[in-house]
Amino acid sequence: MRQKLIKSSELAPARAGRVLSGLVAALASAALLVLSPHVRAAESNEALGAGDMIRVTVFQNPDLTTEARISEKGSILFPLIGEIPLGGKTPVDAAKGIATRLKSGDFMKNPQVSVNVLQVRSRQVSVLGLVAKPGQYALENSSAKLTDVLALAGGVVPGGDEVVVLISGRDGSKTDVDVPALYRNGSAAANPEIRSGDTIFVPRAPTFYIYGEVQRPGNYRLEPNITVMHALSLGGGLTPRGTERGLMINRRMPDGTLKKIDVKTGDSVRADDVIYVKEGLF
């Protein structure tokens, strides 16, 4: 019995040591919580906005966990404190505001609050025109590359122009962007940044028309630096009755009037030109 008691007494300090170690660890964790800010939020520095879905968590208070979509007024309803404005704040600042309200209302002494973004809808861009899926798209970050946003919209459909128009949401300025040139140059810096409120518009590609004595009269896409000769080849060439003499273009002038212009095969073709091939006399 004595030997057993001795062994037990010998083990007691070890057990006490383990208990003490556990207490020290717990106190250290508590100290970290006390010394840390009231907020343990998502690392995102992007401002919250109407439509964003967030989750608010209060440490050791699971009943207060709230998932809410920020209203058009930029606020959410939170237990105990009611409506609180969050629009325009980062998740860190939003969590600080909730913690402050909980503390000032005497609901908690030292609330630890975190705010996490579940879904972003406030940072949106519009993609319009000849794309597969026109509409509004949410930016996960403050900006994205133009080609990435076009890809989200399914890309440019046949008939869409290779030069798209970027309309700034800040000042309304317009910039023409040659998309194929971005890939040819291989420069990431030339790929414009798209920010919230911007609009990408894909216009219809410029075309010209051929009618008269050609094999395939109709409407054709205008390629860069195309000549009348090239245009005729796209139309399948002349019919046996057609002649290159007296080729004519009906061209819309800047003032809106139509003008008939005698042209040669080496002359350039412009957007909306109508090329007419006459019938030969012999």
Read out DSSP for 124-191? EEEEEESBSS-EEEE-SSSEEEHHHHHHHTT-BPTTB-SEEEEE-TTT--EEEEEHHHHHHHT-GGGS
Q: What is the pLDDT of residues 256-277, one digit of tens each?
A: 899 999 999 999 999 999 999 9
Q: What is the pLDDT of residues 139-171, one digit of tens each?
A: 877 778 999 999 999 999 999 999 999 999 888
At 188, the pLDDT band (50, 70, 90 cuts) reads low
Cα 150 from chain centroid? Answer: 9
Q: Which among 192, 187, 226 is positioned nearest to 209, based on CA atoms?
A: 226
258 in the same domain as 195: no
Range of the domain at 243: 207-277
Q: Any idea which residue has 């219809």 for tokens?
A: 204
**Structural tokens at position 9:** 């007494």
Q: Which among 148, 176, 146 is positioned nearest to 162, based on CA atoms?
A: 176
Distance CA 229, CA 269 (A): 10
φ/ψ of residue 101, rounded to 5: -65, -40
Checking if the pLDDT of 117 tops 50, the result is: yes
Checking if the pLDDT of 18 tops 70, the result is: no
213 in the same domain as 156: no
**For residue 245, what pLDDT is reported?**
86
189 in a structural domain: yes
**Structural tokens at position 270:** 């412009």
The count of domains in the chain is 3
Mean pLDDT of the chain: 83
Domain boundary among 61, 94, 119: 119
Distance CA 38, CA 95 (A): 8
34 in a structural domain: no
Q: β-pairing, 274-277 with 207-212?
A: parallel
- H/E stretch holding 131 reads none
The CATH number that applies at residue 73 is 3.30.1950.10
Distance CA 94, CA 63 (A): 19
Q: What is the pLDDT of residues 43-64, one digit of tens each?
A: 457 788 888 889 999 999 999 9
